[in-house]
A and B are shown apart, each in its own frame.
Chain A
Amino acid sequence: MEIDREDGRTPNQLRPLACSRNILHRPHGSASWSQGDTKVLAAVYGPKAGTKKNENAEKACFEVIWKPKTGQIGKVEKEYEMIMKRTIQSICVLTVNPNTTTSVIIQVVHDDGSLLPCAINAACAALVDAGIPMKHLAVAICCCLADNGYLVLDPNKLEEKKMTAFAYLVFPNTTLSVLPEGSSVAEGEPVEHGIITSVTHGVMSVDDYFLCVENGRAATASLSAFFRKNFQQSQKDSSKAG
């Protein structure tokens, strides 16, 4: 029994992705990421000297500034800032530039559902554009649960409102390596199956949550492939120009 989505997508189908990097000149790195109609602009400044108070001076520090499309900054934005800061801290190599602060500014251009995952993907692309050293990328996806128990990926705003529960999941990107399988395994599972960040809204059963995680993992493969293709494309372009 299939669930009918208004835009005709299958439950596991993502919206069309678009990413462009190096679109702003002043920031050291910038990217715009859109999933369907949800569009987010990310800019990275840094590393700058000095860390903030209460931060560890032996490591690099990150600060995230979230600017909504309209309205004042409230608790929602503060929560997004904290989630993004901790996610970025876990994917970046903090020991390379100790005692520095890197600022990531997120500007919401349009919100049509799945906003936080879109912002995390945009921030990753902007960090790559700025050349900040990272261990791996953070690939973010939104899975939601309808009342008849069906799982849907990458909902738009109307779908998000109708769903009983949704989960924002962030995974490391899938690796494409020449090393034999089994070399990048932790606890019996490939490294890319670990969850970096998970934020859920609404009540769901524990089994449904595991199902969301499974589907999310499967979707990261296509998102990682998109990231890879996008970065390789711009590399080829810049090598042609240079």
Chain B
Amino acid sequence: MALKIVKGSIDRMFDKNLQDLVRGIRNHKEDEAKYISTCIDEIKQELKQDNIAVKSNAVCKLTYLQMLGYDVSWAAFNIVEVMSSSKFTYKRIGYLAASQCFHESTDVIMLTTNQIRKDLSSPNQYDTGVALTGLSCFVTPDLARDLANDIMTLMSHTKPYIRKKAVLIMYKVFLKYPESLRPAFPRMKEKLEDPDPGVQSAAVNVICELARRNPKNYLSLAPLFFKLMTSSTNNWVLIKIIKLFGALTPLEPRLGKKLIEPLTNLIHSRILLCLSSVAVLISLSSGMPNHSASIQVMKYLGLLAMSKILKTHPKSVQSHKDLILQCLDDKDESIRLRALDLLYGMVSKKNLMEIVKKLMLHVDKAEGTTYRDELLTKIIDICSQSNYQYITNFEWYISILVELTRLEGTRHGHLIASQMLDVAIRVKAIRAFAVAQMATLLDNAHLLTGNTQHNGICEVLYAAAWICGEFSEHLEDPMATLEAMLRPKVATLPGHIQAVYVQNAAKLFSTVLRGQEGAPADSKVAQETSQLLIDRLPVFVQSANLEVQERASCILQLVKYIQKLQQKDVEVAEEVTALFAGELNPVAPKAQKKVPVPEGLDLDAWINEPPSGSESEDEGRKTKTKGKAVFAKEESRHTKPRYTEVDEKELAKRREVRKAEQANNPFYIKASPSSQKVYQEAVGVEHIPVVQIDLSVPLKVPGMPMSDQYVKQEEERREKNKADRKKKDKKKRREKGRQRRGDSGPESEEDITPAHMVDIVTEEMPETALYTIPCLFPSQKSSKHKKKKQKKEEKDKKKKKHQHHHHHSDGAGDESVQNGTVEEEEPLPVSKQSPFILSTQSNPCPLDIQVCDIQGNLHDGSQVVVSVIFENKCDSFIKSMEFNVMDSLNSKLQRPEGAGPHDSLTVPFQLPPGISNEARFIFSMQSIVMPQKLKGTLTFIVKVSWSCSPQSTHIPHYPNQIEVYLSRVPNTTGVDLTIKCLLTGSNQQYLLLRHPCNICPLCMCPCPSQADQTVSIDAKCDEPGLLGNVLDEIKLTFSQC
């Protein structure tokens, strides 16, 4: 009876093998999960049996369930049991299951070590084979270490089947246990010459893969590989070897010459040939309506190869531009994506518009959002690469961006938005246009937001609102835009956009007010505007978003207050505008690097002492003993050089990376000069395609610009330029009577002049740097202002309460020289040794004078305000100070009306002992390019308590500049140092020169290291005269110190 039950249950279980399970699952389509869970229960029962056949059957089913996504790791131990069966059938099932579900963190793996070792040495080659196959999937570092020797023995097994597998698995072992590489390598090398082609190919496979990571170590194998390559007929082996040679050749030119040169030439010619044949293929196939898949494959591979060649031989690929553009029309997305990748490297100023226009057509046609988004990012990438290098017309670019906003459901709204902001901020000339476009966008905001909440494109409104607000002076109808921004529907936008809306509504409000108050009759209108804000803002005050709420309530209160004032007929526009005065400037990404580390801040120091480590303790102690000040000083001296070092290191690193990339690229072949030349010559003017402009494309949103029109404009402009140039050429030709075809033929990139300039700010100093004082010159046409001034002052002293006159004792007379710099900041030399040299008399000067600031005048670009600090250093009262600077050709001290050209200015204060005060003097300048020196006099009366007869002894005084010296050597020679602020103290080591309109024509960063007496200065300037003068000054200054 009992036997019967047992037998019955066994039967039942045996009914369900893998096929039954699969069939059962297929029959239970509705409740598959439930069925499988009962099966798993059965499997658990089966696993508890002692019979290995039952267990292996269960494990086999588990393997299947694992593929369906069920976790079977709970059966890991049973799998190990089945693996250790002596029967090949079960063993194979066990190893298969293990290879499917074991991984490095499976803990039972360590139980398998001995079993695997036993299997590896089994007399049955298939036992060994199965163990090797399984091991290749779940080898761990421990297993690799323990079994490396056994596997190495197997590499010389009599059966090629085993040898092959053993060789291949060694790669895995090397990865997990790199120490095994050294002892195993000689044997691996032997296997390259194994009589069995399978083993040989496995060895090639492994060594190529190793060499790909680190080609240098495998150079010695090159002859062997060369032999293999000529003898082998196996395609796999050939592909691998050729890839390997691709990695080896750049490393060893000698070898390359000897052995590989014929080969390289062969491959090289083949690649070029291949390139053109691929091009032919692509053109052929795109002409045929029904191309077969194999041609598609070729096309794909061709494009892939081109993208690799593009990195090294851009010219040769560029000549196939038309074909690549055709590939964009391909119906296969993979091919289109590849072609897009290629486009990035092919744009130039000439063809950018054309290419982008083509892409825009595709954007319209593209059906899948993924591909469309890809297109969108590519368009923006292409246009914005290298600081908008290829864009000649920014109005066109803005229009493109605006057109892109019409894409529904794109994820890249923020990308478009950031581009809009970037362009509007950096390209000044475009602002008016951009603002007009953005206003239209805001007006049509409902088109963008559509119905979907998470529509990415509404990000664009963020940019639009900000641009309209920030540059509201360019708005034609600020009132309309203000209204558009305060529509109730705005409250449905995401919070961060609303916040920008609210803030910029306030900016707009100030602009509107100013406009309205300008006309006196409109005070009513102004009040209505305030009322509008008061009506609309409460919606935002109730916003759930904290940022919106906060800004809205703040502005609401402000507007209420303004309204109150307005009702009293107070003009408020000026004050409201002042809220948003000033200009935001772009900051270069590297700007942070230029901010010096503040004194006393040690970025490398631990905030909390590390728990242990004798070295760091030592260092810490040193620091302590030296004292903080000393340490800080040292720090500041070292920081600068370190920056440059980092740069060099970075460069070197990048170079390395690039080399490595080329080295790893099997398709990279060194250029032979001849082939390149051929392609260069091919790019002549004849090859520039003439684009037909299709203007029939209808406008989609009324009032929105069509980017196409710019394409046409651009063409015209270019035509004109070309025509002009041709005329000139002709003339020249006639004059010279020579053929000048060579030079005038191709239209070079440089000839295309951009319509707008971009501010390239990569080198610009950050606005936030402590020591910079932003120059506020309103840009006057394109003139640059520089000012540097020098003033000299003279002082006099008298012991008695007398008044002294100062003369310029310098023979140079009054001709002042101004050093041209755009702006200078000068750190004040606070040292006791003031830059002023006082008199030569033994008596110290009672008055210390320093120029502390030179600024452009906000209201008038030709004016410079010089601030001078007067400090009384004696014990007496100083009064009646009069300041005078002789006018020069270039500069003039501004005097009150009615004063003669030589009258002095009275300093409007008196100085009690020990007190300092600041006075400002205004100079008007003619030119800022030339260095200038100013000389001046200062007279004052010192009240001395002891009585004495007034002596009017005249003491000659040296005119001294206020400039800072390079060193603290008192400047008694009368040398005029006109560069300000070249390092005096330990931390005043900057010379900052900036342009009035923030374009930064000049930017310097001296890195003086006092230790080795060398100073390097990097300067950048778009005004050669200025740069030359400044550099001369610097040189002079340094040579004298």
Do A and B bind? no
